[in-house]
Structure 1
Amino acid sequence: MTYYVLIKKPDYSQKDAYTALDKFNFILNAFPNSKYEIDIITKIQIIDNNLAINKLSTAKFYLEKKNINGALIYLKDIYENHSSSLSIDETLYLLVNIYKSIKEDEIAKNYAAILAYNFPKSKWYEKSYNIINELEIETDDESWFEKFNPIRLIKNDNEEENIEIQIIE
């Protein structure tokens, strides 16, 4: 439990996370059907997700540096070892993107099919669909504040309601 408490954010070293994962797996195997089993499984899932996020950020770093091989190592590791994590859909999208960029269309389509089957309503599925079908990706450069700026919304409402009131005498 001490190692679990020592786990840092995914941006930092995950040495304690690996140690905590080993300890929890040992406890789970040594004492099956204990009253703490659900708690241990939950903690293992949290640690697994934390490790996947850490590896995903490392893969993104390698992609920014144009090191596709380094990124593929981390992304495949996430796909194979952390498939139940919350970042698996983004991982599959990045795999589709990389394989499409290196002209491995069949492998890219396989990962896109997995993404489509498991996450049909995900934004990452839409992006991978656009990549596979070579469609233009529409970017929304407008920030959230510009979209929901109350002053602009009121101003637009007033312009739409530009109705002149005439007084009848």
Structure 2
Amino acid sequence: MNFFKYFILLIIFLITVSCSKDKVKKSVINEKNLDAQVFEAYQKGMDSLETGDVLFAAKKFNEAEILFPQSEWAPKSALMAAYSYYTQDYYKDAVAELERFIRIYPYYKDLDYAYYLMAISHYEQIVDEKKDLQSIVNAKINFSLLVKDYPNTEYALDAEFKLDLINDILASKEMYLGRYYLQKKKWIPAINRFRAIIDEYDTTIYTEEALHRLVEVYYIIGLENEAEKYAKLLSYNYQSSKWYEQSYSVFNKKYKKKRKKVKKNKVKNKSILKKFSSLFN
């Protein structure tokens, strides 16, 4: 009787082991098939990208990611979907893909590239600094992040260059508004705009003019000490510029008259030289 019990248990054990092996074998086969499907979808995406069919390419890359989200192909496919949109100027779609990528794969090894592509997608939407302020701001945020968090990458180098251009754009906007308020004799808004250039965009080409405009406005409203402070700052940094001369003339009216007289004489002398040289023709 005991022998019969052991015999039954042995048969059950053998059946269980056999089924387990079949399941493992079937699982391995399914995984191999799935991996092949992912690679096939990814390859179709690459082929479509090369032929310029970016929408189909992005679709295939998304398909590759969905098929096997735990595989190494998933983050690559997500990035390639974003890049596909970017190549044909579908910037909003590219940004949406990249935002999703950064949210899902925050520790991926090529995260710096994702931020760079995001920054460029915003940057290339800038057409008019008066209208595209949000694109300018978004580009600056992402380029700044690259410089701060990935300083030793090739992307950071280009990001620094692009940030200089963006700051010039933002400073030009402030200058445009500052001049407008100055013309309308709205002194406080004008001061705020010119101060913004000095405080936030002091490395741009608009710094010299902003300093002069502050000298001009403060002098007009009777705050001569403030005007003199900015005139000294302009003198210290940009003594050879035309804006320094104009600021100097705000305090010294005789200097202004003298400069006009010198300029008039120069024009007259130039005219005489021109007539003299014509004798040899």
Tell me whether 1:126 sits opposite 2:241 in the alignment.
Answer: no
Structure-1 residue corresponding to 2:215: 96
Does the CA contact (< 8 Å) of 1:78 and 1:91 recur in 2?
yes
Q: How big is the alpha-carbon RMSD for the aligned residues of Structure 1 and Structure 2?
A: 2.8
Residue type at the aligned position of 1:49: D
SS in 2 for 1:36: helix
Return closer, same or farther for 1:13/1:36 CA change in 2, 3 Å cut-off.
Answer: closer
Whole-Å Cα distance in 1 between the matches of residues 123 and 229 of structure 2? Answer: 36
Offset of residue 158 of structure 1: 6.2
Please, what TM-score do these two structures have when normalized by structure 2?
A: 0.49
Whole-Å Cα distance in 2 between the matches of residues 84 and 64 of structure 1? Answer: 25
Does the CA contact (< 8 Å) of 1:108 and 1:132 recur in 2?
no
Whole-Å Cα distance in 2 between the matches of residues 69 and 31 of structure 1? Answer: 40
Offset of residue 4 of structure 1: 1.0
Tell me whether 1:21 sits opposite 2:143 in the alignment.
Answer: no
Structure-2 residue corresponding to 1:157: 275
Question: Which of 122-131 and 34-43 deviates more?
Answer: 34-43
5 Å-filtered alignment, 1:1-169, equals: 1-135=120-254, 136=256, 156-157=274-275, 161=279
Structure-1 residue corresponding to 2:55: none
Offset of residue 159 of structure 1: 9.2
SS in 1 for 2:196: helix
Residues 130-164 of structure 1, C-alpha deviations (whole Å, 9 max, x = no match): 10223436569xxxxxx8xxxxx7xx5269749xx
Does the CA contact (< 8 Å) of 1:11 and 1:57 recur in 2?
no
Please, what TM-score do these two structures have when normalized by structure 1?
A: 0.79
Residue type at the aligned position of 2:135: D
Structure-1 residue corresponding to 2:112: none
Whole-Å Cα distance in 2 between the matches of residues 8 and 90 of structure 1? Answer: 24
Whole-Å Cα distance in 1 between the matches of residues 127 and 241 of structure 2? Answer: 28
Offset of residue 12 of structure 1: 3.8
Does the CA contact (< 8 Å) of 2:143 and 2:156 recur in 1?
no
Residues 69-100 of structure 1, C-alpha deviations (whole Å, 9 max, x = no match): 11111111111111111110000000000011
Q: Which has the higher contact order (CA 8 A, sep 6+)?
A: 1
Residue type at the aligned position of 1:108: A
